[in-house]
Structures are given as C-alpha cells and as structure tokens.
Amino acid sequence: MLDEEAAAVAARTEPSLTRTRLLQSAVVGGGAVIAGGVLLGGLPALASAARSPEQDVRILNLVLLLEELEAAFYGDAEDRGLLRGELAEFARIVGDHERAHVAFVRKALGDKAEAKPRFDFGNTTSDPDRFASTAAMLEDTGIAAYNGQAVNLTKPVLKAAATIVSVEARHAAWIRDIVGQPAAPDATDAPATERQVQASVAKTGFVKAGG
C-alpha cells in the first residue's frame, strides 16, 4: 500500500524532476557524460570573464533571486499551513535556512542587492505533491546555479558560496527521499550557466514583478 503510494507520488513528481534534469543535461550536451562534461566539456560555457568584484555582484544577485524565490516559496507553504507531517517540518526548517541565505547574500551585496521580486506560487505551496516536486526542482536548480558559478567567483566569495551550496544539496536529497525519488541520482551534479538558471526561473512562472 505504502509502496503504491510512493510510486504514485513519484509518478506525479516526475515531470518537474525531469525538467530539472533536462536543464542539467543540456548544459553538458547529454546526460550520459555528466562527469566529463563538468570537468572539461562544460567548462568553456561556464567560465565567463575574469573573476572580479563586479562579476561577483552580478552572480550574487542571480543567487539572491534563487534564495528569495526559495525563501518565499517555503514561507508561503508555511503560511498556508496545508502541509502535514514531514513535509511541514521540511518547509519550516528549509524555509529557515533559505531566509538565512537571503540575509547572508543581501549583506554581502550591501546596496548592490536587487529588490525582492513579488511571487505567486499558485497551488504549489498548498498541494503536497506539487509542493514536493517544486521544492525538489528549486533545490536542484540552486545546486546547478552555484556549481555553475564556482569558476567565476573570486576566492572569498567562492568560499562563502561553498557553505551554502551543500546545504541546498542536503535539501534536495531530503525532499527527494521523502517522496521516494533517488536522493542522489548522479555521480556529479551538473552545473548550469547564468542564462540557463534565468530560463529555469522564468519557466516556473513564479516571479510576478522585479527579479
């Protein structure tokens, strides 16, 4: 019975997870060669201009958008109060983390931080299945974004970003395990370029103004 339930949940969440995976495999030109793509093939597309504080600002604003999106998503889920059990616990704890990330990145950016956009999450914060699949997709996207920008950040910012990305990875594995999806489906987490992250965010339709 529980197995059937898990299977059903997995089936319903698959489209979003697939979307993330498509995003990732697009980066390296084929899902099967992820490690090689990451190491070399993916690199020319990842490395942009030489590292600089100005570039850091642009990248930090990109991850700020993701962190704002995540924080608002979990906050909205908590406010609506329709999640139960471990999903509710997940929303509460992960929401705390994402709010801490927002505060951290905002502080790092100072007056260079962009304004917080307005969001509309539809029923993804009230329907448990849609919540879980969206959370997994957002966390996977966060990992790909941070991983993609590692080579573009100055060393002090890279050091700080590294303390965040693995927490996003923990979130991704946690929510995936809750709904019976593979927690760590690949040997490496493929990176995404800035443009791919922006496209991924746009595709959610969650950002209503700003960003």
Partner 1 sequence: MTLPLPADLELTAVEVTLDELDRDGALREAGSRLPRGRFLGLAAVGAAAFGGLAAPARGVTKGDIAILNYALALEYLQSAFYTETERLAAVRGQAARVARVVGAVERAHVSAFRDLLGRKAIKRPTFDFRGTTEDQQAFLKTAVAFEDLAVAAYKGQAHLIESDAVLAAAVSIHSVEARHAAWARHLFGIRPAASAFDQPKPKAEIDRIVQSTSFVVARPQTRARGGPRFTG
Nearer to partner 1, 26 or 35 (CB): 35
Question: Among residues 23, 38, 63, 201, which is the contact residue for partner 1, using CB under 8 A?
Answer: 38
Output b/e per residue, 158-192; b: 16+ Cβ within 10 A.
Answer: beebeebbebbbebbbbbbebbbbeeeeeeebbbb
Q: Which of residues 125-184 bind partner 1 (CB under 8 A)?
A: 143, 146-147, 150-151, 155-156, 158-159, 162-174, 176-178, 180-184
59 alpha carbon, distance to own chain's centre:
14
Q: Residue 123, interface with partner 1 (CB under 8 A)?
A: no
Min dist. Cβ of residue 101 to partner 1 (A): 6
Applying CB under 8 A, which part among 32-40, 55-63, 119-127, 197-205 lies near partner 1?
32-40
Considering only 15, 36, 53, 81, the residue that binds partner 1 (CB under 8 A) is 36
Structure tokens at 172: 């991704």
111 or 173: CB nearest partner 1: 173
Nearer to partner 1, 36 or 210 (CB): 36
Question: What is the distance between the alpha carbons of residues 176 and 101, in angstroms, rounded to a whole number?
Answer: 21
Return the number of the residue (93 or 209) whose C-beta is nearest partner 1. Answer: 93
